[in-house]
Each structure stands twice: as C-alpha cells, then as structure tokens.
Amino acid sequence: MKKKIGVLFGGRSVEHEVSVITGMQVIENIDKSKYEVVPIFINKDGKWLTGEELLKFDNFKNNNLKNLKEIVVTSLYNDNKIYSHPENIGFLGKKFVEDLDAVFIALHGTNGEDGTIQGVFELINIPYVSAGVVGSAVGMDKILMKDVFKSHGLPIVGYTWFFRKKWNDDKEAVISQIEEKLNYPVFVKPANLGSSVGISKAKDRDGLIESIEVAIRYDRKIIVEQSIENPREINCAVMGYDDEVKASLCEEPIGWTDLLTYEDKYVNSNSKGTKGGGRNIPADIPEDKAKEIQETAKKSFMSIDCKGNARIDFLMDKDENIYVNEINTQPGSIAYYLWEPMGISFTKLIDELIEIATKVHKEKNQNMYSYDVDLFSRVQFGGSKAKKI
C-alpha cells in the first residue's frame, strides 16, 4: 500500500517562488510506485490549499489555480488528517479529508525554514522531512548560528550584530560598534533571511549606512560580517541525523565573486551540476582540502542538531583557509545535484529523506511525556497566592 506524502510548498516568504519550484521538483521526482502525493500549497496570504491543479507547474506559470480547496491541519495529537476549511464546506458541502503518513516540507525562508512550521507537525505528531525545530531555528538565524559554530570551535569570519531599534535610536553608536570590531569592506545581512535578499557589501561608512537601511526593511536583527576579499565559495551537503551523517561532494559556483544574486542562485545557475556552466562538481580543490571541508560540514550540521539534508556554504581565502559561511537547512532543489554524482538520484534522495523523517519520528515517540506524581494534593488554593509546596 502506498504511503500518502504531503508536499508542502509556497508560504508567506520572499522565497515563495523558490519554494514552489522545489515543491514541484519533489513532486516530479518522488517514487510514484511507493508514494501518493498530496500537494499542499500555502499562498502569499497564508491560506493552505490543495487540489490536482497543484501537480502541474504550468498552472503556476499561467496563474491557473482557481479550483483549489482551502484546508486546515487538525491540532489533535496523532490525527494525521487535513480537513476542508469550515467556511468553505457550505450547507450541503462534504468535508474533504486526507490521511498523511508524512509531510515533505519544501518551504523556504521565513515561516517555513525557521522552525515555525516544524513545530506544528511536532505538536500533531506527524513525521516530516526537515531540519527539525531547533536545527531550523538556529540555522535560519545567522547570529545564533554563528554563536553556535563559534562555541564548537568551527572557523568563521569576524562579526557583530544589533537590533533595528538600536539603529533607529542611535545610529552613531551602531556605526562605532561596527568600526571598532571590523574593517571595511563588510557584509550587512538581515539575520533571518536567505537567497541574498537584503544583503549588500559596504566598502566605507556611506556604504555601510546605505546597506543597513536596506537590511532593516527585512528583519529586526542585523548581522555585519568581515569580508574576505576575492574568496572562493565551496559548498557541501550533509544528510542524516544525530551522529549518523554523510557528506556529499563539494561544489564551487562558477563566476562567483562577492555575492550571488537571487537570479544567480535560482535562474542562471546550471541546475544539473555538471562541470562548466553554473558550478563545478566536484570542486577543483586538493583532495585533502575537500576532506577537510566535508568533515567541517558534518560538524557544522551536528552542532545545531540538524536533521534530514542541508547544504553548508564555505568561503576559502587565497591561502586556502576555510570559513563556515552559513548552513542552508532547506537548500533549493534540496541540493540533489551534490548527491547525484555519488549515485544518489533525486528520487533516491527523496526516499532517504522520508526514511530519516520516519526514524526521527519513531525515536521521538520513545520518549516519556508523562510523570506521575501526587503534586495536586500538596497544593492548596484559597487566598491570593497558592501556599508553597
């Protein structure tokens, strides 16, 4: 009997379109002999929708999404069902129900890659493909991520950060803080955003002010990082959970200089991952350097308690020193191009990720969630405060 897998994509995020593409790729490449796909689309207004029209990418390109059913996910524990939204059932309407064996989260960015949606499926106890609540939240917040990496002794560039309110209250204090800790040029980034949106390079104080004014439009926390001049970007994916993890081949984007734009990442790159075009796989680096990057990638993955599949991005300077730039817990196309040369097809990758999600879910349910103690009999109410135990 086929398992029903909900593929969740779209979302209220600046990375909405990227998520749709990833969701479509998962739907196209999932093993149809083993799984029945239930597409679940979150539109830009935050509505959850399903319907057969979501199985064809042309319907998104042509904006032909008119006959979708609005749905809700139950809040009941161990109830793996999705229901018609109550407002759309009507007097004679029939409630639409789907049972899900697992959910493949293909959401990118805010509200999908930051631990929020992961928490929903934790509460209702449905297996889901994702980095988990902690891994997603820490991996999304560049400040927390670097703090964790630093505590584990992983190589990172110098950085500092501040709140948007502090900038609005005292710009000179923020500028002084940055200039005391870092040298120009620097990168200014929203702490909780991906795909290069809101990120810019500042070569002097005027550029810094301009970059901050852009970044604060996207987040309340801003991180400023020391720039490494003329670096090479080397990326490596990691898959698994706990300490049972494996690293992919390394890749190097071609023509990369200071910053890959949104279009560079998702439009102009060579999605097939062959040598030439958008990226070199494997990266043209010494074997010992590739192994160092792979081992550091695995340590980075485990340091934030990540699960499933993630891509870790590195910077390498002219002396071949490496720095962990960031971890992408929901990489576009789930980074299948890094696994294919190792004999793991896109279909097999999806299969392995569903297996990991099932194992993580099974292990979670081995935990005890109740502890019997006669606590109530030892507490008395009746006054303004409860008496001490």
From CA 195, how far away is CA 301, in angstroms rounded?
19
Marked catalytic residue, from 19, 84, 130, 195: 195
- What does each C-alpha distance from 265 to 38, 98, 293, 302, 357 come to in angstroms? 28, 35, 21, 25, 27
Residue 185 annotated as binding site: no
* C-beta atoms surrounding 137 within 10 Å: 21
Residue 33 annotated as binding site: no
Under DSSP, is residue 146 helix (H, G, I), strand (E, B) or coil? helix
Residue 233 annotated as binding site: yes
Residue 230 annotated as binding site: yes
Does the active-site annotation cover 98? no
CB-based contact 128:118 (threshold 8 Å): yes
Residue 188 annotated as binding site: yes
Residue 264 annotated as binding site: no
Residue 271 annotated as binding site: no
Question: Computed from CA positions of residues 19, 25, 28, 30, in that sequence, does the dihedral angle turn out positive or negative?
Answer: negative
Residue 225 annotated as binding site: yes
Residue 130 annotated as binding site: no
Residue 43 annotated as binding site: no
Which of 34, 37, 67 has the alpha carbon at shortest distance from 55? 37
- What does each C-alpha distance from 163 to 89, 141, 222, 366 come to in angstroms? 45, 13, 6, 40
Residue 36 annotated as binding site: no
Query: Residues near 376 by Cβ (< 8 Å), separated by ≥ 6?
Result: none
From CA 22, how far away is CA 240, in angstroms rounded?
20
From CA 370, how far away is CA 366, in angstroms rounded?
12
Does the active-site annotation cover 271? no
Token pair for 363: 């292990």
Which of 270, 280, 276, 271 has the alpha carbon at shortest distance from 249? 280
Does the active-site annotation cover 33? no
Marked catalytic residue, from 130, 136, 300, 333: 333
Which of 364, 361, 342, 367 has the alpha carbon at shortest distance from 129? 361
Marked catalytic residue, from 15, 113, 251, 340: 15
Token pair for 356: 């990991």
Residue 189 annotated as binding site: yes
Residue 99 annotated as binding site: no
Residue 187 annotated as binding site: yes
CB-based contact 265:258 (threshold 8 Å): no
CB-based contact 25:109 (threshold 8 Å): no
Residue 326 annotated as binding site: yes
* C-beta atoms surrounding 142 within 10 Å: 25
- The three-point CA angle 345-14-250 to 5° equals 35
Q: What share of the chain is helix, strand, coil (3-state, %, to 5)?
A: 35, 25, 40
Residues tagged in the binding site annotation for Mg(2+): 313, 326, 328
Residues tagged in the binding site annotation: 142, 187-189, 195-196, 225-233, 313, 325-326, 328
Active-site positions read 15, 195, 333
Residues tagged in the binding site annotation for ATP: 142, 187-189, 195-196, 225-233, 325-326
